[in-house]
Chains A and B, each alone.
Chain A
Amino acid sequence: MTPNLHNAASQPSFAGEHRSTTRASAARWKTGAGPAVLPLPHAASETPKVSLQGISLSYKTNGSRLLAIDNIDLKVRAGEFLCIVGPSGCGKSTLLHLIAGLHKPTSGHVLIDDKVVEGTGTDRILIFQELGLFPWLTVGQNVEFGMKMKGLSTAEREEKTRYYLRLVHLSQFKDSYTHQLSGGMRQRVALARALATEPDVLLMDEPFAALDAQTRDLLHDELERIWAETGRTIIFVTHNVREAVRLGDRVVLFTFRPGRIKREFQVDLPRPRQLEEVDVARAAREILDPLREEINKSLEVEYGVRS
């Protein structure tokens, strides 16, 4: 168990101390019987696991420069489950790619444990929206892949593959090919593959968007359990506010193009949470209103609709 689970009051929160608070206000919800507003703790003594410093990204399209991400400052505590929500086109997926080191930001730095990182590294593993499982490899070989690249011995690889496949309940499917699995199972293979490289930070890009509701609920439970068991730091991108509240310690709301942090929300509801809980719904409600503003902005741009 990670110490931050069920233990909201003692959590240090970055919401009150980092630079983006000028435009992001921290909102909190009380749980059924808990205190209404939790005091914002003082500056944390521990260094943040992930720290984004002034990340911006712009690119050229048809001669004009498009600013996709604008000056993002964000700190993520070790072991924190951070959710990023925003309308499509807010650059939230792109931000994950930048953290993963797959692209270079136009300006700014990504820091892991206060050290600037460049390029990809197995300390940060991204689970792609499309998963990107390798169809020419079996489930076991997929899970093993990162460890093989790291140069782990065969025995070690086998042992860890077994462990992580058991963690996602896919032990019997070790020798199957990924196209033989259902969507939810493939999702779990991707999770196992990412976890098996033993990254400090897990980046998840709308991983459950394409799944049916039942499978998604199950995977929420599993992800929460695995997060608690492994103590990983998770940055989870979604467009589903309820999902964000269901899973996150903190929810960061992005503005529509260019992507900026609009607001931050601390979610201090006890775990495990359920998607249909009243508290979850109420918290989601509060994020939904500012999100609507951004969605309307995106509609104006993309469809020429005036609201």
Chain B
Amino acid sequence: MKRAARQVIFYAILITLWVLLAKLKIWPPYIFPTPWGVLEALTGGFKDRSFWIAIAVSMKRMLLGYGISVALGMVLGLGVASNKFLEETMGGLLVSLQSLPSICWLPLAVLWFGLTEKAILFVVVMGSLLSVTIAMEDGRKQMPKIYGMAGRNLGARRFKLFWHVLLPASLPYIVTGLKQGWAFAWRSLISGEMIFVSLGLGQLLMMGRDLSDMSQVIAVMILIIAIGYIVDGLVFKTVERRLQNKWGLTPAT
């Protein structure tokens, strides 16, 4: 309760400061937006449905790109974790590739796919694939060996072993990596959309700049933060907590 109160006070002060500074009119509104201007841009954006459309387009790209990343990353990570040759060769490459900001793939993507959805999808996949792969690899290695043995002992083989034993057994170890992968994918998507004009939140942000509409810029930024927070703080945290409870990793009852 106290914590919530402190947070309320903090944000109240922040907004008051903002209102005061805006009221003083030191800078023109296209440089320093007013809170009511941003609020107006937010409601306006939702009312004329441009925000809804942008969110829908961005989320569709996210789900598609992230889905591909997870599926591919699991196979890759599992391969690297269970094969010594792959680990020694691919393992190092994966780690070094991760230091490359994903937006660096955009020029390559545009040359390969042109200014299409595929290019942006490629950037999203490249942004999150590596962290998902590395998370899967780590998870597979951290997972106690007993589960794999118990599974084989009870007659699980190949795909059944992977699906019914290895995957659920490594879930608590990979969920953090999956979350990180989502965050990377989200960043890659927005930067991709900003550079390469198309629908989506990133493009909305750039449109604000082009129109010198600072209120819209701030409104979209708030939107991007909110979506990131909701997915990370609500979806992933809930999944994580449920997993931990189910597994007895946190004190039950």
Contact = CB atoms under 8 A, between A and B. Distances in A.
Interface in B216-253: 246-248, 252
Interface in B157-197: 157, 160, 164-165, 168-169, 171
A179 B247 contact: yes
Given A122-B155, A177-B252, 19 more contacts: A100-B153, A102-B149, A120-B153, A120-B155, A125-B153, A128-B149, A130-B146, A132-B149, A133-B150, A135-B248, A136-B169, A136-B247, A145-B154, A148-B164, A149-B154, A149-B155, A150-B155, A178-B248, A179-B247
Contacts of B154: 122, 125, 145-146, 149, 193, 197
B32 interface: no
Given A126-B153, A132-B149, A145 B164 contact: yes
Contacts of A125: 153-154
Contacts of B246: 135-136, 177
A180 interface: yes
Nearest to A180: B252
Nearest to A150: B155
A102 B152 contact: yes
A109 B123 CA distance: 54
Interface residues of A, number: 26
Interface residues of B, number: 20
A173 interface: no
A126 B149 CA distance: 10
27 contacts: A97-B149, A102-B149, A102-B153, A120-B152, A120-B155, A121-B155, A122-B155, A125-B153, A125-B154, A126-B153, A130-B146, A132-B147, A132-B149, A134-B147, A134-B150, A134-B165, A135-B246, A135-B247, A135-B248, A136-B169, A136-B247, A148-B164, A149-B164, A177-B247, A177-B252, A180-B248, A197-B154
Contacts of A148: 164
Nearest to A100: B153
B110 interface: no
A193 B147 CA distance: 14
Interface string A279-305: 000000000000000000000000000
B160 A132 contact: no
A192 to B, nearest CB: 12
Contacts of A180: 248, 252
Interface of A: 97, 100, 102, 120-122, 125-126, 128, 130, 132-136, 145-146, 148-150, 177-180, 193, 197
- 4 closest A-B pairs by beta carbon, nearest first, are A179-B248, A132-B150, A149-B155, A146-B154
A181 B164 CA distance: 22
B169 A146 contact: no
B168 to A, nearest CB: 4
A299 B250 CA distance: 40
Grouping DSSP codes into helix (H, G, I), strand (E, B) and loop, the A interface class, with mixed when no group exceeds half, is mixed
B53 interface: no
Contacts of A126: 153
B248 A177 contact: yes
B199 interface: no
B156 interface: yes
B252 A134 contact: no
Contacts of B156: 145, 149
Which interface residue of B146, B150, B157 has the most chain A CB atoms within 10 A?
B150
B155 A134 contact: no
Contacts of A97: 149
A197 B152 CA distance: 13
B250 to A, nearest CB: 10
A122 B153 CA distance: 7
Contacts of B164: 145, 148-149
A125 B169 CA distance: 20
A146 B161 CA distance: 11
A247 to B, nearest CB: 22
Contacts of A121: 155
